[in-house]
Chains A and B, each alone.
Chain A
Amino acid sequence: GEDVEQSLFLSVREGDSSVINCTYTDSSSTYLYWYKQEPGAGLQLLTYIFSNMDMKQDQRLTVLLNKKDKHLSLRIADTQTGDSAIYFCAADNTDKLIFGTGTRLQVFP
């Protein structure tokens, strides 16, 4: 089955860019997603990319997809303290979403 992996932790200074990486195994995934989870809350859909695209930009967020290497990344420009959260990438697999382990982003002043 699909396996999705992420690095567990990222620490950046406020104002810098953050890059969160994700790898997946099932090349048939149609959509790949990034979700944000703040403490005690549900998941907020940040952005998603269709598998035939290699880049998508949405304000401070840039998603890059390397389908050949099955690698997905999320870049957050001008990272703010409010961006501190856990970020999950997810790949669809026959209508189900398979989640990565989550990356905890910590932003320090």
Chain B
Amino acid sequence: GAVVSQHPSWVICKSGTSVKIECRSLDFQATTMFWYRQFPKQSLMLMATSNEGSKATYEQGVEKDKFLINHASLTLSTLTVTSAHPEDSSFYICSAGPQGSPLHFGNGTRLTVT
């Protein structure tokens, strides 16, 4: 079945630094990938839709300059949290799926900003 790989699975960084998270589709091509954020004991909130070869579409309230998304190939999307602050600490999950098929999720990246 469709496999989505996310890396790293966890990262600790200092306030003010930037962190890049990768999301790869391993056995299919994905023109679209989705980035979600999950706060403890809460549901997943869609942050943005990553579009291969074009700009990402951000949900209302998500700062595009803060959360940079790059989807340079059909199998890779990256989310960069720029100038991270403790309030950015969260669980970030990407998802993708073959066209016309259900979405599969990566294992998530737990970001802790100290």
Contacts and interface: CB of A to CB of B under 8 A. Distances in A.
**A and B: bona fide binding partners:** yes
Interface of A: 31, 33, 35, 40-45, 48, 88, 95-102
Interface residues of B, number: 18
Instruction: List 3 A-B pairs, minimum CB-CB distance, nearest first.
Output: A42-B107, A42-B108, A43-B105
B46 A42 contact: no
Contacts of A95: 32, 49
Nearest to A94: B49
Given A31-B102, A42-B107, A97 B95 contact: yes
A97 B34 CA distance: 9
A10 to B, nearest CB: 15
Contacts, number: 43
B46 A48 contact: no
A76 to B, nearest CB: 19
A41 B102 CA distance: 19
B28 to A, nearest CB: 14
18 contacts: A31-B102, A33-B102, A41-B107, A42-B106, A42-B107, A42-B108, A43-B95, A45-B103, A45-B104, A45-B105, A88-B44, A95-B32, A95-B49, A96-B49, A97-B95, A101-B42, A102-B42, A102-B43
Nearest to B95: A97
